[in-house]
């Protein structure tokens, strides 16, 4: 006997009731999860995403490079970004998380920045990370730099505090503030700050 809303009588079988309850619990759990933060950013409603980057150690620049268009990432541009964000100490290249590109893109848009983002550190090989850990207590043993998911950045001519505030305002990934060293750390890990 159907209910008014068109569903069949759930009392007909214990199996049907269990299935219904499981589906209901799964739906409720899905509602409890946070909305995908990346998708809600207004910057991602644009037809193209571009980046302008400058590596302070190698002097390499990428200007207004379209890395996402027509709903897909552009492999050639991502390869250029991978190269520019390589470990300059070992010259090792690693695939950079495209969401890190999205984060840098969103920051530039929020700040209406025309100049390239200065990259202090992008990818770090495990060897480089270990070497930096020996020299400084501020380097994480399992740094997201080693996964291509983090960058230490600055915007010359911009107050570092404003860059930090903009990064925190995105509410995506981690944000570390290093005013004495002159950079802000951003990554695509869990939302957190220090």
Distance CA 114, CA 98 (A): 21
pLDDT > 70? residue 37 = no
User: Any idea where the domains of the chain sit in the sequence?
Assistant: 39-193
Average pLDDT over every residue of 44-52? 87
Give the closest residue to 164 by CA, choosing from 146, 150, 138, 182. 182
- Domain spanning 39-193, CATH architecture: 2-Layer Sandwich (3.30)
Average pLDDT over every residue of 98-112? 96
pLDDT tens-digit series, residues 146-167: 999 999 999 999 999 999 999 9
Q: How many CA atoms lie within 13 A of 20 on its CB side?
A: 11
Q: pTM for the complete prediction?
A: 0.78
* pLDDT given at position 77: 98
């Amino acid at each position: 006997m159907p209910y008014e809303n068109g569903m069949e009588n759930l009392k007909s079988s214990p199996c049907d009731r269990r299935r219904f309850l499981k589906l209901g619990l799964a739906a409720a759990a899905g509602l409890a999860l946070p909305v995908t933060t990346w998708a809600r950013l207004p910057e991602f409603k644009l037809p193209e995403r571009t980046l302008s980057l400058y590596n302070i150690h190698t002097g390499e620049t990428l200007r207004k490079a379209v890395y996402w268009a027509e709903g897909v990432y552009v492999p050639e541009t991502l390869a250029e970004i991978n190269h520019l964000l390589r470990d300059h100490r070992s010259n090792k290249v690693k695939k950079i998380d495209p969401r890190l590109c999205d984060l840098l893109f969103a920051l530039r848009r929020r700040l209406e920045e025309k100049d390239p983002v200065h990259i202090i550190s992008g990818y770090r090989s495990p060897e480089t990370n270990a070497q930096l850990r020996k020299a400084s207590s501020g380097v994480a043993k399992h740094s997201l730099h080693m996964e291509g998911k983090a960058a230490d950045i600055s915007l010359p001519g911009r107050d570092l505090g404003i860059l930090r505030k903009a990064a925190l305002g995105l509410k995506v990934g981690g944000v570390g503030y290093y005013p004495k060293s002159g950079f802000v750390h951003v990554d695509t890990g869990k939302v957190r700050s220090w």
